[in-house]
Structures are given as C-alpha cells and as structure tokens.
Amino acid sequence: MTRFYPSRAWMAGALVCLALMAGCKRGPQPSEVQDEARRAGRAASSFPAADEDYFHDMDGGIALTPDEVKGRNMWLVWTGGNDRFWDTMATASVGTLDFLKTISSYPGYKYGRDNRWNYLGLVNEPCFQKATGPDQQHFGLWLDQRSASCPADPFANEQKYPGVKIGSRRDTLPVGSYYGYPTGIVGLRLFPNPDFDAAAAKRWDAKRYYEDPSYYNDKNLIRPYRVGMSCAFCHVGPNPIKPPDDPENPKWENLSSNVGAQYFWVDRIFVWKPDASNFPYQLFHTSRPGTLDTSLISTDNINNPRSMNAVYGLRARLEVAKRWGKETLTGGELNNKQFNDFVHEGELTQFFQPPDTVRTARILKDGSDSVGALGALNRVYLNIGLFSEEWLLHFRALVGGKPITPIEIAVANKNSAYWEATEQQTPNMALFFLKSTEPHLLKDAPGGQAYLTKDQSVLQHGATVFADRCARCHSSKIPAPAPGVDPDGCAGKDYLACWNTYWAWTKTDEFKSAMRKIVLQKDFLKDNYLSTDMRVPVTLLQTQACSPLATNAIAGNIWDNFSSQTYKDLPSVGTVTVYDPYSGKPSTYQMPAGGRGYMRPASLISVWSTAPFLQNNTIGNFNPSPSVAARMTSFQDAIEKLLWPEKRDKDSVLGDKIPGLIDRTTETSYLRIAGGYLPDYLKPLISPGQRYFPAIFGEGGLKLGPIPAGTPVDLLSNIDLLGEPANAEEKRAHEEKVLKLLLRMKHDLDELPGNATDDDARKVFANLVQPMLELNKCPDFIVNRGHYFGTSYFAEEPALSDQDKRALIEFLKTF
C-alpha cells in the first residue's frame, strides 16, 4: 500500500474548503440567542425560590431560616433549564451518555435501583421503589415509583412552580413544574420534552429504546422526557457521622448536602453501556470514583479528573479570603454580581470594594474562579448546562477542535431568564452554606471513638509535627508575619516572589515556635478552615501538572469572565519534570504564565472521611461502603501512601523507572464516531463524490485503531487540536501538524493485518509517540505523584521519622 502524506499546499487548500463549508450555512451566533424561558416570555421574577423545608432531616437536622431553606432547595433541585443541555449531550456523545437510561431500572441492565449505589455511586432518593414494569403513564419507561406512604414531592407542583410553556409542553405533554419531577435519584429531575410532538410520540417505542441500537443510536430520535441536573448530583452523599444502614436505601437523615459525591463512578454513569473497546470509555475510566473532569464538556483537550469538592467551613473560609483572597477585576469580569448587590447588611457584605476589588474564596482546585464567591457559584450552573443555547456556541462539545470564545455575563443577563433567576437566588445558597458546613468529626460518628487514641502525649507530638510541617498550608490560623512577609494583597505578576518569601519564612524557627503555640491551644480547630487557600506552585507540590495546566479560565477562553485579572497576570512557575511514557526518560516542561501552574491547598476538615487523596483520588484504595469502618480503612491506606510514597502504586510497564502510575488502556480499543453523529458541516467529507478525507472519516464515520492495551490514555486525549498561535501563520502550521499526525496514525494502523496483535499495534504506536508528545497539551502522565512534604522524597527539609508520621496521623483523625 502506498503511503500518502499530504503536501502543505494540499492541506491548506483542504482547510479552506472546510472553512467555506462551515460558513455557507449560517447557524445561531453567540449573543443572538435566548434561552427557552426568555423565548416563552418568562422573567426571572417568575421563578421564585421554593420555600418548603422538605429536606429538613438532612445535614444533621439543623434549623434553617426561610431564606436558608430556599438556599438548600436551590442547591438540591434547581436545574435552571439545563434539561435541554443534557438532552443535547445524548446526541453529541454519540449515544454514550443518556440520563434517561441512567434513571431506569430496565431488566438486563447492569444497574437499577437495587444496586444503583454500589454500581454507579448515585444516591437513591428516599420515598421511591424500584420499577417492576414499564410505566405506561411515562411512555413505557422503567422509572422509580414514588412510595404511596410518602407525601407528594412539593417541587413538582405545577400550580405553584409553573414550568415554561414551550413546544409540545403546551400541546401533547403537560407543562410541569420548573423544578421538574423527581426521578428517584438525588440531583436528577425529569422534564417533559418540548420537542416530543405527535410525530415523535407516534414513532416512540420504549422497548426499542432500551434494546435496539439502530433505534436508540439514531440522532433524530426524540425522547419523551429530558433529564435536568442540580448541584446535588455531584455534591450530596452519605453523612459521615450518620451513615445509612443500607446505602441503597438511605433516609434523608443519612444524607449531607455538602460532602461531595465521593462514590460517583464517572465511567459507568457517563457511559450507560460500558464497552472497554470504545476509547471514550477508556478515557472516562481514568476518573477514579468521586472524580470528574469539570472541563469535560467545554473541553480543553486535557484529561483532568478532579475530586468532587466537599463544602466545609464556609464561614472560616470567607475569613481566609479577607486575608489571602484579594483579586482585581477588569472588563467582563466586572459584570459578575457580588453579594453586595443583593445583601445590604451582615457578613456577606464585606467582600467587595468598588469599583474592582474582591476578596474571594477560590473553589476550583487551580484557583482560577477568582471573581467572588457569588460568581464562582453561578459559573457552576453554566458549566452544568444553564443557558446552553449560548454556551454551546462557544466551543465544540466533548471533542473540541473549534476555537473557544468566552461566554459573556452581559449576554447571559440580556438573554437568559434562568441565569438572572440563578444570580438572584445564589445569596440564599451562601446563607445555607454558612449554616450547614460544620465539620463531621470522627468522635461523633458511630464507633468513631474506637479509632481515636487516648494517649495525650501522642496527640501533642502529632500537633507539633503538624505545626512544623503542615500548618503553613493547612491552617487558616497562623502567626502574624513581619511586614513584607505576609503575601496579603500580593497577587498578579509579583505573586511568585511573594510566595517564595512566605515559604522561606515558614521554615524558620520563628514561624515554627509561634505556630506550635497556636496549634496546641484548645480552640485551634474551632473556626479553622484547615487551609490557607493560597496558590501553591506545582513546582513545589510536584503533583501531576494537568490540573494547573487547565486553560478554561485563561484570557479569551470560555471562563474568561469568571477569572480575575489578577489570575491572568500570574507568572510562570518555571519548569516541571515529565517522563516519556514508554522509556521513562525524564525531560523538562516549561509551565506557561497567564494563570496556570498553581494549586490551592485542600482543606483537611473531616479528612478522616475523604480518602482517597490528592486532587484526583489516586492515593489510597477506594471502598464503596460509606460506613465508618470502611472510611477509616480507606483513610489509613491513603494517609500511609501519602506519608510513605514508596507504598504508592507503580506503573504496570515502567515500574520503578518513574515515580508513580500512568493510566493506560485496559484493552484493545478504537475511537469510533458513527457517520450519523458527525456534525452537519462534516457530512460532505463522507458523502459519495466529496470524500476529502476518507483516510480519517472512512465511509461511514471515524474509526481510529486498534489502540493497543497499555497505551497511555493521555497520550491521545491530550493532543492539542488548536494550539496557542500568535498569528494566522502559526495557526495554519499547527493545524497542518495535527492533520499530518492524524493521517499518519490512521494510515499506519490501517496497514495492520486483520489478525494483528497488540504487540503489532504497539510497534506502530512506538513510531507515533514523539509526534504525539510534541502535540500533547499536558505531557505529564504520572497521576499519583507529588505532595512529598515530610518524606525523604522532598529535598528541602529532613524527612519525618516513622514515629513523627504515626503521631501526625493520630492528630489528623481529630479534624
């Protein structure tokens, strides 16, 4: 077979053809579209917050004010019209993700209500029973049924909370409530699909929807319902100090609004029919339970699963923000609402100084969401699909390859009633968090006292170790530094110098002596966020660089309006060491400036209940049980691997040649995209007579493979489709380089015989490694390295003794 590598001129011409085809049919443009609520004539004021204290048994049964009740309801059931988005994703994901199947208990599926927790890590909503047959009132779907002994779900009240009358909701379907109907899964709500008209109803076949790929993989299929997602989906979990006897059947009193979905299996939830031969499944499989790549949809072509945030100690965290969280806003960043816009007295008014200074907690692990706590919370709703009519116009969902532009807050205010309603209700959510985010202490858990030492000398020893080595990053109570040492207000281009001065001070006897006095006080843990929330250079942390390399919040990217100018001005942290995933050979990688390269320290509140550890849950064994005993088993395993790095998992291929584990494909796999799912503007590429790139797209779609077992997942997933060109010529050169790699990869793999082995495919990949590395957006593939403080792996200070480490562990259990 003759090898074909396109010339520069041929590729340039082909790219022009693509551009022309993309532009010949003008679709919706950014800033020109309205959300469904606005199109239906609804104002933000027509979405008042729900006031029923339905969830009063949650969160330890705390007493809430009416506004705090509204805040919890918003967190748990408000979806802001994102049911449209998740229905769209069922098509854009090539049928991989389908929440209407996720909420079903269809016979023959690997999951249903009776094993939903253990298999999917999703929380079964109390007051429901497993479907025993097709529900004819819901078009034959196998949906959980509400128990007759329970009162009606108050949020499904169409009269009190009237839904948006649009499409067939005025016609063949009920309008429903703007909170939707409960599904039996906490955080997922069911909405009548406005596109399900009489023709769609006539074509609908529930049995084929569950069983027939030719039917359910049709991109033109219209489902009778859409599924919306609230914040609860990723943040509600079993209460660590009041765990359920049976996690498949919790009561509301067993659940916490804020602990995070620590048991959430992304690969099983987002791939409803797991197939290890499908490369997207291999990609999702790199997400450990309890982690999710928050840039999954608005992809930055960096695989970056991060643990679900637990929301603890908000009041103490806001105090930290007053000291360390100064940020300056410019441009579209100034359009973020602040607490002061809605609250005119009390503690929430202290965090904004007009015209452009905000003191803010930073919620994302890389500290990029830095425009104020209110803006950070509002951004989450966009990220889970609110105002998807606009959001999806700024990037190509899931696969990328399209230049990304910022979604503008000013446009959302103009065109989205759901966005305005969210802005207005978020302060109540903050009030709820101020009341509900107290620590879950091991001493208060059933049987917890048995895991705590009674030896006060051991605890005092552990407290001293913590003061000397941990408190500088993991305590919001620290000594008052001398002038010029405290980085208060130091940010932007000078931040790194300020950080280095602070870090040097924390290694002095002066700091350690003062810190010991603070830690040994009886009230040390009271109102202590157990983090500084400062930005720590990844060069010091030595954790995987992919998280702080995320590009979503840099200037001109999708979250431009939600990151401060201070963030965008941050300097480069320098170089990190990366390792060839096949040879183990080390090399250096220059970290870019402009915001990337930093991580905020995690809070250690309730650390006993939050293992596995690191930003991606890669240190420690996962246990699917939420019991105290299971949590403590995971904690002990994780904390030992953290403090004794030699115990961490090794790579299956390179072993001790590299400092940790690389996520590799578990089986031979293929990247497949059926022709029916290709974007319309790419259809001419595969239609007869107009096959400009048949080598890539084939006759019916895209198929790339075989990808041999053991291939580093991120070698493929992190290929930079766009680059960061300074001008048109650089952009064209990068596009040609990517195209050449794709053509070469496809051609060389296609030359393999039909009976080729994985070893045969590995030989092909060996020749492609270098060009893939050159185009890799994050060439750091080791997922469980770093945070070596107190160990022999950290060169700056002597390692702690085993006795020091054991005493420290006992002290940490009291957090």
The model's confidence at residue 765, banded by pLDDT at 50, 70 and 90, is confident
The model's confidence at residue 398, banded by pLDDT at 50, 70 and 90, is confident
The pLDDT of residue 19 is 38
- Asked if the model's pLDDT at residue 626 lies above 90, the reply is yes
- Residues 761 and 725 both lie in one domain: yes
For 329-343, 490-504, 782-796, which range has the lowest pLDDT when averaged over its residues? 490-504
- Residues 118 and 198 both lie in one domain: yes
The pLDDT of residue 578 is 97
The pLDDT of residue 685 is 33
- Residues 71 and 184 both lie in one domain: yes
The model's confidence at residue 732, banded by pLDDT at 50, 70 and 90, is confident
| Residue 476 resides in a domain | no
- Residues 206 and 320 both lie in one domain: no
Higher pLDDT residue, 242 or 402? 242
- Asked if the model's pLDDT at residue 683 lies above 50, the reply is no
The answer to whether 183 touches 103, Cβ cutoff 8 Å, is yes
Average pLDDT over residues 448-477: 98
How many folded domains does the chain comprise? Answer: 3
**How far are the Cα atoms of 187, 234, 553, 769 from residue 123, in angstroms, in the given order?**
8, 10, 31, 42
| Residue 220 resides in a domain | yes
The answer to whether 234 touches 252, Cβ cutoff 8 Å, is no
Task: Summarize pLDDT for 128-155 with one digit per residue, the tens.
Answer: 999 999 999 999 999 999 999 999 999 9
Task: Summarize pLDDT for 70-116 with one digit per residue, the tens.
Answer: 999 999 999 999 999 999 998 877 668 999 999 999 998 999 999 99
- Asked if the model's pLDDT at residue 9 lies above 60, the reply is no
For 205-219, 224-238, 402-416, 699-713, which range has the lowest pLDDT when averaged over its residues? 699-713
| Residue 675 resides in a domain | yes
Find the domain containing 571 and state its range: 314-439+543-575
pTM of the prediction?
A: 0.92
The pLDDT of residue 114 is 96
The pLDDT of residue 692 is 41
Among 225, 257, 292, give the residue marking a domain's end: 292
| Residue 456 resides in a domain | no
- Residues 407 and 325 both lie in one domain: yes
How far apart, in whole angstroms, are the C-alpha atoms of residue 209 and residue 213? 8
The pLDDT of residue 612 is 97
Bridge partners for 704 per DSSP: 671
The pLDDT of residue 702 is 63
The pLDDT of residue 700 is 54
- Residues 435 and 551 both lie in one domain: yes
- Residue 765 CB-density burial (10 A; 0-12 exposed, 13-18 middle, 19+ buried): buried
- Residues 286 and 401 both lie in one domain: no
Residue 205: phi, psi to the nearest 5? -140, 105
The pLDDT of residue 489 is 66
Instruction: Report the candidate in 137, 143, 283, 275 with the shortest Cα–Cα distance to residue 213.
Output: 275
- In one letter, which amino acid is 215? Y
- Residues 195 and 237 both lie in one domain: yes
> What does DSSP say about strands 701-707 and 669-674: parallel, antiparallel, or unpaired?
antiparallel
For 310-324, 540-554, 693-707, 794-808, which range has the lowest pLDDT when averaged over its residues? 693-707
| Residue 636 resides in a domain | no
- Residues 395 and 260 both lie in one domain: no
The mean of the pLDDT values for the chain is 91
| Residue 610 resides in a domain | no
The pLDDT of residue 257 is 97
Task: Summarize pLDDT for 335-352 with one digit per residue, the tens.
Answer: 999 999 999 988 899 999
- Residues 285 and 334 both lie in one domain: no
The model's confidence at residue 18, banded by pLDDT at 50, 70 and 90, is very low
| Residue 386 resides in a domain | yes
| Residue 473 resides in a domain | no
- Asked if the model's pLDDT at residue 381 lies above 60, the reply is yes
The model's confidence at residue 701, banded by pLDDT at 50, 70 and 90, is low
Task: Summarize pLDDT for 632-674 with one digit per residue, the tens.
Answer: 999 999 999 999 999 999 999 999 999 999 999 999 999 876 5
- Residues 280 and 323 both lie in one domain: no
- Asked if the model's pLDDT at residue 675 lies above 80, the reply is no
Q: In whole angstroms, what separates CA 164 from the centre of its chain?
A: 29
- Residues 16 and 48 both lie in one domain: no
The pLDDT of residue 681 is 35
